[in-house]
Structure 1
Amino acid sequence: MDLRLTAEQEQYRRDVCALLRRDDVQAEAASARRLPPGQEPGLLDVYRLLGERGWLAPNWPAEHGGLGRTIVEKAILTEEMIAHGVPDVVHTLAIDIVGLAVHLFGSAEMQDRLLPRLARGEGLGCVLFSEPEVGSDLAALTTRAEPEAGGWRLYGRKVYSLKSHLADFGLCAARTTASEVPYHGITVFAVPLDTPGVTVRPMWTMADERFGEVTLSGPLMTEADVLGEVDGGWPVVGRVLGLERTGIEFAAKGRRLLDAVLSHQDAVLAPEEGPSPYAEQLVALDAQVRAGELLSWQALGKLAAGDYDDPVYPMAKWHSTETAKAIAAITAEVCGLDAVLSARDPDSPPGWVVESALRDAPGFTLASGTSEVMLSLIASGALGLAP
């Protein structure tokens, strides 16, 4: 495995870092972190600055707003946005998950209609997969697409749809044909969320980013709204989830959180006072973060080569999320009461992320498939064990 970047990729990283370090960008990032409770960052000006240069989706072709480069440049951008404190959830959803699914499975007309706006940092898509009582078993989804002249009417309820209240459209998995084979008969639609028959309600949680409950009461979808094949949506669902499971985002968040803990005055004591009682644990966590970064880049290499089914994806996702969760768990011990200081508090250190991480970390091992699901995939895919 060769993890060395090309000279062009190294220059791209330097150019991205230079933009993200700009005073106006850092001021916007700081303002976004200090939004009052109940408010959250959406489409930021920095996204548009990146979009103007083709940097927001560098792996997309120029006609769709990118640079025609590779998934490596996209991963570099994700790492650096997180490292520089720029809110990344909208970007990850719009480009890494929803946009890339449209790029891979959408018709030419759908790509021309949806991708340029995402790549400019002017639009957002969300994911409408999870349902009540279904959990991680998406093959058991009950949302139905009833045929009608010209298309289908969608009926069902989706939950835990991140940022759906800000999104222009959502990728919705629905059952178009009843089948004894649970993976057959599912179709993925790109549903405009301002369509009559779509209702979005908030689902409040401890996290800074809002989830939504989306009720589908008969919005009309046509062939133009279908990703992939009718009744053949399961590969689309699997690919979307696979794109979320490279672990690159969670590895970068784990690194930033650990760096924040290590920068705390009590994390490393002065030599005359002896080493920190947490030194051994912090060193071990640092090694785990490094291992997660390597796993994530290995997964990205597989993705770049077109190998979408390798067990490295659940391995990278499981390792990076469990590590980030473990780092969050130790922060309260290392940082004491400072760990509960909100970034909105004037007494919190600059760029403080610990308090929000304490609230977000439990969801790391749930989003994009639970740790238990990842272990099952590793057991079957890497070890050949029967389910």
Structure 2
Amino acid sequence: MTTSTPVGLTAEQETFRRELRDFLAGADVRREVAEIAAYPPRHEASHLAVYRRLGERGWLAPSWPERFGGLGLGAVEAALVTEELTLAGIPDDVHVLSIDIVGMFLLRAGTEAQQQRHLPHLARGERIATVLFTEPGCGSDLSALSTAARRDGDGWRLRGGKIYNQKSQFGDVALCAARTTAGPVALHGITLFLVPLRSPAVHIEPVPSMGNDRFNLVVLDDLRVGPEDVVGQVDDGWRLLNDLLQLERTGIDFHGKGRRLLDAAIGRATATGRIDDPSWAGDLAELDAAQHAAHALAWEQVHALADGRPDPVRSAMSKWFASERISPVLAAGADLDGLATALSAWDGGAPDDGLWEAATRTGPAHRLASGTSEVMLYLVAGNGLGLL
């Protein structure tokens, strides 16, 4: 592995990283990763054993308080877990959804009762939480959100459809955005709810996609939730979404995915002797330099977050840069192995156990997840440079 060592780590943080990396390199974890890579079509990772073993150590959510299953550490340790999971090739969707998004919202805006009810189970890897934001017809534009929540006694009735969410077929609870008040300001009147996914009033069906992990259409059919299921304040959901999602965007996960792919490409070039060819070596060195730059930029955002001085503009820049560096690495891998990169893990004889074929199918998603590249550039140009 050629990834850079994160700058500015304390001796304790270096020890944490080394222990985490050693654990993820263990035989049991590597066996589980190989089994996941060989899953047949329409099978995907959900309740991973490695998550539960991490949870037993408090490592799955190390920045959370100990009473909720964490270690009471900080943003640096949380970023180390994210980075090492992606470098080790462990599917991270459940971790991102349950810990980085839903867990983070509950920690910062949830009630004590909500935290006690959900966080320990998520931190132990026993349950899965997901998000229900995107809708058919309006995508991620929450100003056009149509899922409605109407008053029902002291609670609410939710009706509407959500699409392109992942892991809901395995999930226990979801963080759902619904419109509670209609008015002239489109982004006002949105409220966040915790909704049970295993309810007769929740219908989940698959939506075709190119990735190994399916998307879902989730229909809420007059689902009742109580006042205890409101996250934050009624009608204040947009502010929470805007503030919290921007603050937690660092680019560290996208760098980890790009770094893992580039390490595999360098390994292939070395094994075939092409690493000594100046034309190949020059291209790979350029890609390697870009990954080091993405790594440094991402860790700058992590340390800023840890110091209580997050910068949404620089975070947007980091996410854009790291995610845009993945496509050139995929192209280099295809050049190295040619048509063999079209072989999936199910075909047999695929290079790197089908890594390239799977990564190519999911490659476009990196420019969309956690904010599209176009939105990141808009934030940089408008909020950072004052050009808009």
Aligned 1:40-51 pairs, distance under 5 A: 40-51=44-55
* Cα deviations by residue, 1:134-181 (Å, 9 ceiling, x for unpaired): 123222211111111021111111110011111111111111111212
* Cα deviations by residue, 1:60-86 (Å, 9 ceiling, x for unpaired): 001100000001111111111122222
Question: Counterpart amino acid of 2:373?
Answer: S
User: Aligned residue for 1:381?
Assistant: 383
Aligned 1:153-168 pairs, distance under 5 A: 153-168=157-172
Question: Counterpart amino acid of 1:314?
Answer: A
Q: CA deviation at 1:381?
A: 1.5
Quick one: structure 1 residues 276 and 268, their matched pair in 2 at CA, closer, same or farther if it must change by over 3 Å?
A: farther
User: Aligned residue for 1:209?
Assistant: 213
User: Aligned residue for 1:332?
Assistant: 334
SS of 1:201's equivalent in the other structure is: strand
Q: Which runs of 5+ in 1 are unaligned?
A: none
SS of 2:221's equivalent in the other structure is: strand
Question: Counterpart amino acid of 1:137?
Answer: D
Matched, 1:85 2:120: no
Compare 358-367 and 85-94 and name the one that shifted more. 85-94
SS of 1:361's equivalent in the other structure is: helix
Q: CA RMSD in A?
A: 1.9
- Separation in 1 of the partners of 2:149 and 2:283? 51
User: Aligned residue for 1:31?
Assistant: 35
- The answer (yes or no) to whether the contact 1:251–1:292 under 8 Å persists in 2 is yes
- The answer (yes or no) to whether the contact 1:136–1:370 under 8 Å persists in 2 is no
User: Aligned residue for 2:3?
Assistant: none
* Cα deviations by residue, 1:259-288 (Å, 9 ceiling, x for unpaired): 1111114787458xx625343332222111
SS of 2:177's equivalent in the other structure is: strand
| TM-score (normalizing by structure 2) | 0.94
SS of 1:50's equivalent in the other structure is: helix
- Separation in 1 of the partners of 2:119 and 2:63? 12
Question: Counterpart amino acid of 1:363?
Answer: A
Q: Which runs of 5+ in 2 are unaligned?
A: 1-5
SS of 2:149's equivalent in the other structure is: strand
- Separation in 2 of the partners of 1:366 and 1:267? 34
Q: CA deviation at 1:196?
A: 3.0
User: Aligned residue for 2:71?
Assistant: 67
Quick one: structure 1 residues 200 and 306, their matched pair in 2 at CA, closer, same or farther if it must change by over 3 Å?
A: farther
Matched, 1:363 2:365: yes
SS of 2:206's equivalent in the other structure is: strand
Which of the residues 295, 309, 333 maps onto 1:293?
295
Aligned 1:1-387 pairs, distance under 5 A: 3-242=7-246, 245-265=249-269, 269=273, 275-308=277-310, 310-350=312-352, 352-386=354-388
- Separation in 1 of the partners of 2:14 and 2:385? 36
Number of residues paired by the alignment?
Answer: 383
Question: Counterpart amino acid of 1:335?
Answer: D
SS of 1:127's equivalent in the other structure is: strand
- Separation in 1 of the partners of 2:79 and 2:136? 32
* Cα deviations by residue, 1:216-259 (Å, 9 ceiling, x for unpaired): 11111222111111100112212453256311111000000011
SS of 1:263's equivalent in the other structure is: helix
Q: CA deviation at 1:114?
A: 0.5
Question: Counterpart amino acid of 1:376?
Answer: Y
SS of 2:279's equivalent in the other structure is: coil
- The answer (yes or no) to whether the contact 1:169–1:191 under 8 Å persists in 2 is yes
- Separation in 2 of the partners of 1:308 and 1:131? 29
Q: CA deviation at 1:295?
A: 1.6
Compare 54-63 and 128-137 and name the one that shifted more. 128-137
Question: Counterpart amino acid of 2:173?
Answer: F
Quick one: structure 1 residues 266 and 3, their matched pair in 2 at CA, closer, same or farther if it must change by over 3 Å?
A: closer
Query: How many percent of aligned residue pairs carry the same amino acid?
Result: 46
- Separation in 1 of the partners of 2:38 and 2:106? 33
Question: Counterpart amino acid of 1:53?
Answer: R
Question: Counterpart amino acid of 2:81?
Answer: L
Question: Counterpart amino acid of 1:209?
Answer: D
Question: Counterpart amino acid of 2:323?
Answer: T
- The answer (yes or no) to whether the contact 1:269–1:276 under 8 Å persists in 2 is no
- Separation in 1 of the partners of 2:74 and 2:236? 27
- Separation in 2 of the partners of 1:154 and 1:29? 38
- The answer (yes or no) to whether the contact 1:169–1:192 under 8 Å persists in 2 is yes
- The answer (yes or no) to whether the contact 2:176–2:195 under 8 Å persists in 1 is yes
SS of 1:364's equivalent in the other structure is: helix
SS of 2:325's equivalent in the other structure is: helix
Question: Counterpart amino acid of 2:64?
Answer: W
- The answer (yes or no) to whether the contact 1:154–1:218 under 8 Å persists in 2 is yes
